Structure 1
């Protein structure tokens, strides 16, 4: 819905980097893993103003085929559902059938403009749930969580703020409601121009949000590639001040910012980003896409049948490379369990407070 290039704006929450002790210490035998999270949501016109009435969920019909493609490759998928999905009988039936094979998980995605209660104006800034007053953000989260429990009979433990709109109060609200893993950060992106948060200081490693280790953060993996990649965020921000600077730098192989998603990320760039991330020691590579991309015409990324074929081919090549590199898929539940195991051991061995 925006490209996250607001580097010249001084508003918005700049999310602070985690402290040195916050990074998740994965078990020695954990290896390098990857996850796939799907923003499972309604269809809407990405170019138009956000509307409370845009609640159609017809694209969900393509989800079983998309799920089958991942299941055949042994890849568990986490479906992060929002209010229009959780309250659509047809969408719920489709997702329930998908859950039966045991390879999928249900999580939460909060789109505040279509998620009651509607106590705020539907503005661009308010489309980032973390910008809302704490009481409104909490009320919307409660409505959505309850709807998911009613629809699927499970209490969700995974969360993503719609539009990556995490705020200063979000993770405390999640911890209070039993959520264990958040994926609301798009590493290295800056949404301040649109009124959202700035993740420029956040890297790709999973980390704990607080000293009590209640909520894990798993950012969407984003990698700088090219000859200047070690200059990273600083160089990327400077290029943003030059007309077409970032595009020229990417074409010349100087610097490119590549998120692990098939949406607007060429497969050759994604393959290079995977190699860089693995080489830099990232232990969990986090991939994502929007469920309406499984049907042409609902997102800017899949406009026709050719785009959809390219979307599926992107995944084939990415999964082939991950297999060759020995990067194995992991379910959200297994990921949480692995993080909690090492966290419990670390907390038990920590000296008592003075």
Structure 2
């Protein structure tokens, strides 16, 4: 696999095609409109510096139980998408096993290739997207992570998210071959091609069957709000070609791109996005955050105690609105059961 060190990778500029109408998941009526939370459960590193294999510290995990209690108070059982530094840290595994005792939370996979063996590639921005690696190396990293999670938690993971949303042309087939049932690597409307990553402008918010075995894609929700919000990703792209146009459009209330996360996303924008998503018929709203944000000082989103309070308040306000709209939480296992009925 030594050739991987200089191989540009088959996934450079990978752009998934939009799903056909027949591929869209028809959620059972009884499922209603639901929301779920996926946590990128990962090691700590300096977000302003280059990635490094040595960054495997997991001290922020000590704060996760307190954050988990906030979710549990609202009946929310997150899916903790763990990567290799987490699953090989006994302290982190012990913490997560205690969180799983709520009966609603679950463990999934998150693959950060730069800290996930085998290490047969250079650590570069391009290689940080696992889908850019040669197929054999990507498969080996996935198998290594899946096996480690099964050993640590006594259950093979069936939901996956590639780190940095770094899906490539081989990823879905490899996931299906490993027995995964759900991928959450596609971030609706987002583009990472300037770094050699994927382009998700053709992917909407609706779950769809990938055509790789029984594998279903649950895209991370992105909503366009404002008077011109219905213009969606195409209008947003057009605005990007005019200097400062996106900022002006947002300040004027014409168009704002909103991801459902408290990380760098104001709560007022998120609340409006929740209303829009529910009104547009998005049946499963996908929320996310990074586990190190549970404690101050580990991510640029939660730098001190004041920002941690704001982070927690963001969730409280979001949960209140969701409850008012009748949008109930859906756990990992409830999503799987609904997909079984939908098939």
Q: Output aligned runs, 1:160-179, within 5 Å.
A: 160-179=161-180
Q: What TM-score, normalized to structure 2?
A: 0.95
- Contact between 2:86 and 2:92, CA under 8 Å: does it hold in 1? yes
- Matched residue, 1:350: none
1:294 and 1:202 map into 2 onto residues whose CA distance is 30
2:283 and 2:115 map into 1 onto residues whose CA distance is 35
- Contact between 1:80 and 1:107, CA under 8 Å: does it hold in 2? yes
Q: Secondary structure at the match of 2:31?
A: coil
1:121 to 2:122 alignment: yes
- Matched residue, 1:348: none
- Matched residue, 1:82: 83
1:76 and 1:295 map into 2 onto residues whose CA distance is 19
Unaligned runs of 5+ residues in structure 1 are 1-10, 344-354
2:270 and 2:201 map into 1 onto residues whose CA distance is 20
1:208 and 1:73 map into 2 onto residues whose CA distance is 30
Deviations 1:272-299 (A, max 9, x none): 0001111110000000000001111111
1:326 and 1:211 map into 2 onto residues whose CA distance is 33
- Matched residue, 2:6: none
Q: Secondary structure at the match of 1:235?
A: helix
1:195 and 1:296 map into 2 onto residues whose CA distance is 31
- Matched residue, 1:269: 269
- Matched residue, 1:227: 227
1:246 and 1:195 map into 2 onto residues whose CA distance is 23
- Matched residue, 1:260: 260
- Contact between 2:176 and 2:212, CA under 8 Å: does it hold in 1? no
Residue 101 of structure 1 deviates from its aligned partner by 2.0
- Contact between 2:226 and 2:253, CA under 8 Å: does it hold in 1? yes
1:149 to 2:150 alignment: yes
Residue 182 of structure 1 deviates from its aligned partner by 0.8
Q: Output aligned runs, 1:52-91, within 5 Å.
A: 52-91=53-92
Moved over 2 A (4+): none
Residue 243 of structure 1 deviates from its aligned partner by 2.1
Q: What TM-score, normalized to structure 1?
A: 0.92
1:246 to 2:246 alignment: yes
Deviations 1:73-126 (A, max 9, x none): 111110000000000011111111111221210000000000010111111011
Q: Secondary structure at the match of 1:100?
A: helix
Equivalences, count: 332
2:212 and 2:287 map into 1 onto residues whose CA distance is 27
The 1:191–1:211 alpha-carbon spacing in structure 2 relative to 1, beyond 3 Å, is: closer
2:332 and 2:94 map into 1 onto residues whose CA distance is 22
- Contact between 2:106 and 2:332, CA under 8 Å: does it hold in 1? yes
Residue 15 of structure 1 deviates from its aligned partner by 1.3
The 1:217–1:264 alpha-carbon spacing in structure 2 relative to 1, beyond 3 Å, is: same
1:40 and 1:271 map into 2 onto residues whose CA distance is 25
Residue 340 of structure 1 deviates from its aligned partner by 1.6
- Matched residue, 2:317: 317
Q: Secondary structure at the match of 1:107?
A: strand
Q: Secondary structure at the match of 1:21?
A: helix
